[in-house]
Amino acid sequence: MAKKKTRFICQKCGYEAIKWYGQCPDCKEWNTLVEEIVTSQQRKERPTLVNPPQSIRKLKTDRYQRLKTLLGELDRVLGGGIVPGSLILIGGDPGIGKSTLLLQVADRIARDYGKVLYVTGEESGSQVRMRAERLKTMCEKLYVQSENNIFTIEEGINKINPIMVIVDSIQTIFNPDLSSAPGSISQVRETSSHLMRIAKERGIPIFVVGHVTKEGSLAGPRVLEHMVDTVLYFEGDRHHSYRILRAVKNRFGSTNEIGIFEMQQTGLIEVPNPSEVFLSERPQGASGSVVIPSVEGSRPILIELQALVSSANFATPQRMTAGVDRNRVALVLAVLEKKIGMYIQSQDVYINVVGGVRLSEPALDLGIAVACASSYREKPIDSKVAIVGEVGLAGEIRAVQQIEARVKEAKKLGFTRVIMPWSNYKAMDFDPEMELVGVKDLNEALSLLLGGE
């Protein structure tokens, strides 16, 4: 007989304890330890060696034929298509469009390659059909299974032998051999391992939807992200129609690649030229508005960044940001005050990246500084100027990567002037259609763009 033991397992990090603690001793989170029954099995006979060690030169390489989804943005993020036998995790806020995207992908794969199984643990089959009718994804080869039991799901896979499987979501799937509830750290770990085994043994790509916490990270054990082949995050603002699909892990392609979609009534539509879309409503002659050529993965994107500096109504000035790191903005404001003499300690500062896009690279620093100075001095920036550069604590402008791609994107959108770090400027080739200007420090950049007081 197997012995049952009680353990308290942290639902945040997986730490196991023999008694309950208010605070997890490992990750220091409060009220995350949940009591679970752990069954200890008797020791079985040692398994025979099936896959002996081999020299790496004798191992055969399989030439996988990727499955094309015909969604160019998704294929870009995945590295050229879906690799057979891969386990792909996609996460995002509720209502961001995860199920919509996967239902569109399932329909296109079913039309071009064969049967696709869509496993839903959160909806009934009729609810999935209602969404499929709205999205017009009613392919006959698309099968729907409303099930939570991992063994029943495997029986469904064995019955129809699909080309691809989608599981929505992993937090609702459970293994009946475990006593813990669905969504617990033990269930997520075991069901994910089961799906990974199915994907590798049968060569079936499996998409797994994962819930996110209120902080925006994937819920469940961190081992889930280590276990899968690809991790995709669906980002975006509910008040904007644009969605960004970002790859933070990809064993079969580049990381930090992004794809941009627009949410419409008929589903997600890919945006082939996002720079033009993000700049379409840019105001002319407005102070505090600058254009920054940012690079996300291998793709350059022109983004409008707006700053508003106004007198504070309270003793403590407000510092609010949307789309950029607040700490990075605080650093740039400190440099403006210390090195430039722009006294904004009594001013409210608001920074916004238009379109609901989130940017994190240091190349935005110079654009943030110029936008704040423009709003503070009420002097607009030329609408045909793009600005890029990293600002150091001494006020120097440091070089950025992929400057050629940034300049090429600015030229394509009709910009005639690019302000860049001096180090990048020295390495650039002459272009008669573009005016490239290199600056060494922040004071030189502000004098060039805004002139003297």
pLDDT at residue 53 greater than cutoff 90: no
> Domain for residue 64, yes or no?
no
Has residue 96 got a pLDDT over 80? Answer: yes
Torsions phi, psi for 231 (to 5 deg):
-120, 120
Q: Where does the pLDDT of residue 61 fall: very low under 50, low under 70, confident under 90, or very high at 90 and above?
A: low
CATH number for the domain spanning 404: value is 3.30.230.10
Between helix 326-335 and helix 365-377 the angle, nearest 10°, is 60
> Per the domain annotation, does 63 fall within a domain?
no
* Mean local confidence (pLDDT), 346-352: 93
Q: Does residue 312 share a domain with residue 351? A: yes
Q: Residue 77 above 60 pLDDT? A: yes
Same domain, 256 and 290: no
Tens digit of each residue's pLDDT (9 = 90 or more) over 128-166:
999 999 999 999 999 999 999 999 999 999 999 999 999
Query: What span, in angstroms and rounded, lies between the C-alpha atoms of 434 and 436?
Result: 6
Report pLDDT for 39.
60
52 domain-assigned: no
Same-domain check for residues 338 and 400: yes
The answer to whether residue 304 is domain-embedded is: yes
- How does residue 273 score in pLDDT terms, banded at 50, 70 and 90? confident
pLDDT for 208 beyond 90: yes
pLDDT for position 2 = 52
Q: Which residue would you say has higher pLDDT here, 140 or 44? A: 140
Q: Picking from 56-65, 215-224, 235-244, which range would have the lowest pLDDT averaged per residue?
A: 215-224
* Domain presence at residue 286: yes
Of 205, 240, 272, which residue is a domain's last?
272
Instruction: Tell me what pLDDT residue 220 has.
Output: 64
pLDDT of residue 9: 82
Q: In whole numbers, what is the pLDDT of the chain averaged over residues?
A: 88
Confidence at residue 38, expressed as pLDDT on a 0 to 100 scale: 66
Q: Among candidates 279, 240, 225, which has minimal Cα distance to 90?
A: 225
102 pLDDT above the threshold of 90: yes
Show which of 210, 238, 272 is a domain's final residue.
272
pLDDT digits (tens, 9 = 90+) for 155-197: 999 999 999 999 998 999 999 988 778 888 888 888 999 999 9
Q: Verify that 268 and 282 share a domain, yes or no.
A: no
Is residue 145 domain-shared with residue 261, that is, in the same domain?
Answer: yes
48: left (phi over 0), alpha (psi -120 to 50) or beta: beta
Q: How many domains does the chain divide into?
A: 3
CATH number at residue 168: 3.40.50.300
For the entire predicted model, the pTM comes to: 0.79
Q: Are residues 183 and 307 located together in one domain of the fold?
A: no
Q: What is the mean pLDDT of residues 360-376?
A: 94
| Mean pLDDT confidence for 39-46 | 60
pLDDT over 60 at 407, yes or no? yes
Q: Rounded distance, CA 211 to CA 145, Å?
A: 20
What is the model's pLDDT at position 179?
Answer: 78
Residue 15 has pLDDT above 90, yes or no: no
Of the candidate ranges 238-242, 341-345, 369-373, the one whose mean pLDDT is the lowest: 238-242
Q: Examine residue 422 and state whether it is found in any structural domain, yes or no.
A: yes
Return binding residues: 92-99
Q: How many C-beta atoms lie closer than 10 Å to residue 70's C-beta?
A: 14
Tell me the angle at which helices 125-135 and 98-112 cross, rounded to the nearest 10 degrees: 80
CA angle 226, 232, 236 (to 5 degrees): 140
Distance CA 439, CA 453 (A): 19
Q: What range does the domain containing 7 cover?
A: 3-40
Phi, psi of 29 (to 5 degrees): -85, 150
Specify whether the CB–CB gap between 367 and 292 falls below 8 A: yes
Give residue 4's pLDDT band: very low, low, confident or very high (50, 70, 90): low
H or E element at residue 5: strand 3-10
Q: Residue 64: its pLDDT value, please?
A: 67
In this structure, are 427 and 308 located in the same domain? yes
Residue 62 confidence (pLDDT):
62
Q: Are residues 16 and 100 in the same domain?
A: no
Output the known binding site for ATP.
92-99
| pLDDT value at residue 265 | 85
Let me know if residue 228 belongs to a domain: yes
151 with 165, same domain: the answer is yes
- Please write the tens of the pLDDT for every residue from 408-421: 999 999 999 999 99
The confidence score (pLDDT) of residue 40 equals 56
Confidence of residue 34 (pLDDT cuts 50, 70, 90): confident
Q: What is the pLDDT of residue 397?
A: 96
| Count of other CB atoms within 10 angstroms of residue 448 | 13
Q: Quick one: pLDDT band at residue 405, thresholds 50, 70, 90?
A: very high
pLDDT of residue 378: 93
Whether 246 maps to a domain, the answer reads yes
Q: Which of 272, 287, 314 is the last residue of a domain?
A: 272
The answer on pLDDT for 320 being more than 80 is yes
Whether residue 176 is found in the same domain as residue 281: no
pLDDT of residue 8: 86
The sign of the torsion formed by the CA atoms of 323, 327, 328, 330 equals: positive
Q: Compute φ and ψ for 67, nearest 5 degrees.
A: -90, 120
C-alpha to C-alpha distance for 95 and 97, rounded to whole angstroms: 6
Confirm if 129 and 121 have CB atoms less than 8 A apart: no
pLDDT of residue 42: 56
**Together in a domain, 281 and 426:** yes
Q: CA 162, CA 115: separation in Å to the nearest integer?
A: 5
Structural contact between residues 88 and 136, judged by C-beta atoms closer than 8 angstroms: no
Q: E strands within 141-298?
A: 142-146, 164-168, 206-210, 230-236, 242-250, 258-264, 267-270, 289-296
Note the pLDDT of residue 104: 95
One domain, residues 295 and 352: yes
Q: CA 36, 38, 43: angle at the middle one, nearest 5?
A: 175
Q: Is the pLDDT of residue 70 over 90?
A: no
Mean pLDDT value across residues 336-355: 90
Q: List 435's β-bridge partners, or say none.
A: 417
Q: Tokens representing 107? A: 């329909």
Summarize pLDDT for 109-125 with one digit per residue, the tens: 999 999 999 999 989 99
SS3 state of residue 355: coil
